[in-house]
A and B are shown apart, each in its own frame.
Chain A
Amino acid sequence: MAAPGSVLASRRVRRFESFRAITAAAALITLVLLLAVAIFLVVKAIPALRADTASFLTAKGWQPDSTPPVFGVAALAFGTLLSSALALAMAVPVAVGVAVFIVEYAPKRIASWLGYAVDLLAAVPSVVFGLWGVVFLIPRMTGFQHWLATRFGWFPLFADPDGQTATASRSIFVAAVVLAIMVLPIVAAISREVLRQVDPALKEAALALGATQWEMVRMAVLAPSRAGIAGGVMLGLGRALGETIAVALVLGTSFAINWHVLTPGGNTIAANIANYFAEAGPTGRSALIASGLVLFAMTLFVNTVARTVIYRGAVRRGGDR
């Protein structure tokens, strides 16, 4: 007969094993979930691809429910990339500047509050930004965009060959501005973390050599933080690529490959899905799913690069929050 102690021990071991099994099951469910996402998207995208495989990647136009169906993700992918790139170009300098300001220039007492304020920007839902963009920003941007087009029209992105900027302003540029506002807090928050972890001994070394504050920041703070900041930028890019609602509201339902960012037109994959979803027929829905797959591939790529860069950079996980 087993001694009482070992009975207790075996019961405890059983309980331990079952709890462990439960957590492992949870992890398994997560794996399955991710696989399911990939599988179902591919499965449901296939009908559309079969209907129009040859030109899915390059066709320009979106009439998947017509006969013959014509739809291509080229213009959308282009719009997605262009608007995101523009947004980053606007947001990153400001975001890094904000991070440097909070870590190096701001008076210590208000530095954390400023950080919270910038983080709050990330909490505002994108639909509110979209609404604000439509009602507040678009009317006010007409004048500015027209000025840009006339003054800087020699720059290919800013050209306005059909003279549209005088009256219309639902352009990729405005969408990019709204995207920039949404991407800013992400890049700023990550940059702040990276800058905060800089070894203070390096700052002292720079100052002891007779560096001004800015020179010290350049040499001892920004230089070692490049990798981490780059990672933050990529995560911001991922956010911008996937942003749906704000862009959908600002751009409306146009469809064109448009290099002239100041003129109306252009669309992104995500916004296109949002705008066409309600009226789409079966092929249409399938086509939208296919475009969603392309978007997923894009964000997956960007986020993977971001994580590798960040992990290789000096951001330590855990501890220094």
Chain B
Amino acid sequence: MKLRDMTELAVRNLREAILRNSLTTLGVAVGVASLVAMLSLGVGLQQLATSRLSKSGLFDSIFVTPKTNLRGPGAGPPATRAAAPKARPLDEAARGEFQRLPDVIEVYPQIRFFTEVRFDGKPFATMVAGMPDSSKSSGSFDGMQGRFFSSGNADEAILQAEFAKELNPQTAALVGKDLVLRYAERQALWPDGSDEGGGFSVVPKERHLRIIGVVETEPASGFGGFGSGRLLIPLAVAETLRAAQVNDLRDVLRDGGGDKPAYASLTVRVKSASLVEATEAKIKAMGFGAFSLLDASKSLRIFFSVFDLLLGIFGSLALAVATLGIINTLVMAILERRREIGVLKALGAADRDVKELFFVEAGVMGLAGGVFGVLFGWLIGRSLTLGTNLYLKRQDLPGVEISAVPWWLVAGAIGFAVLVSLAAGLYPASRAAKLNPVDALRYE
């Protein structure tokens, strides 16, 4: 028989015992739904974790420091220290080199300095931090008051909420106002650049900034920070300030940095977390200290794999129960339809036709169960997300997506349901095919 005729007959047969077949199909659907719901939860949580982490910039970043900084004084006997590759200053040249490495998106220094801000005629002491452009997408600025910097070198400032409250308890009223940043600029002692004695002079300077926003917390900006910044300004602006930083004095003492400002640390961001390892090795080979959080993300992936596996096993148990349902239904159908099988055989159906008919019936039940199951599973995932978000909203936290049903899960679940159903139909189908037509026709 042709497949189309076979399918037509199978669907017709299934429709005939609609209640029993629907219940069986529902059994498959519930099995598939629990499988899909559990896996979608696993996938969703994993996606949530990875997207949060990659947004934070922790897992695609390499933190570079000069070798000497990492070792610090007294890190091992002098003999081993001498054997280390020559330490290079973390200066503009090094930054350029990093920038030219393949897969590097951006290289930026950590600029933080403690200084005084005048607002409304009153002085406030605070920590200023430079924000790279990429921090906009870190998630920390989602749901902020006001807006992010209009450009990379705008004279604008975003206040950290606690600090903003010091300036004015009504933080919303701050947006659009100006403040004055008073800072100490580093100037070379010898303007001609003949940097003989080392050291620098510090000149007080002022800069007017417009407050454009208030944010809850400073985005996690990696290592090397000294306390979190409370006044955030564009990184490019911070760099032009050439403000004296905490490390400056130490640098002068150590290698007589002089005019060329060396960075205390640089953050190198690469395209994806998977590229971190290779880039990190290259930077180390160039003679710098480098560090990343890659290992942490690796163990996270292992955790989620195990998590998915466990959820999958529980889901499969539900599907196994559904499989028994299919076998039962089809075996019952053979008893009930002995006569029909006999008629089909008398009319010239080969054993194979009968077998295929039962097989297709099982497959159709599996397909329908799979489709409905994916739908149910997706709904379960949606409602879990909805419930979670309701809870988060009550806690004044932004919503999250905790379940995800990617296309491979849809296709996989339906395929799995059909496959399991076909396997369940194997025994009933071959039993039906072997039925002796004479006996089957005699059956009343």
Do A and B belong to a common assembly? no
A residues with a Cβ closer than 8 A to B are none
B residues with a Cβ closer than 8 A to A are none
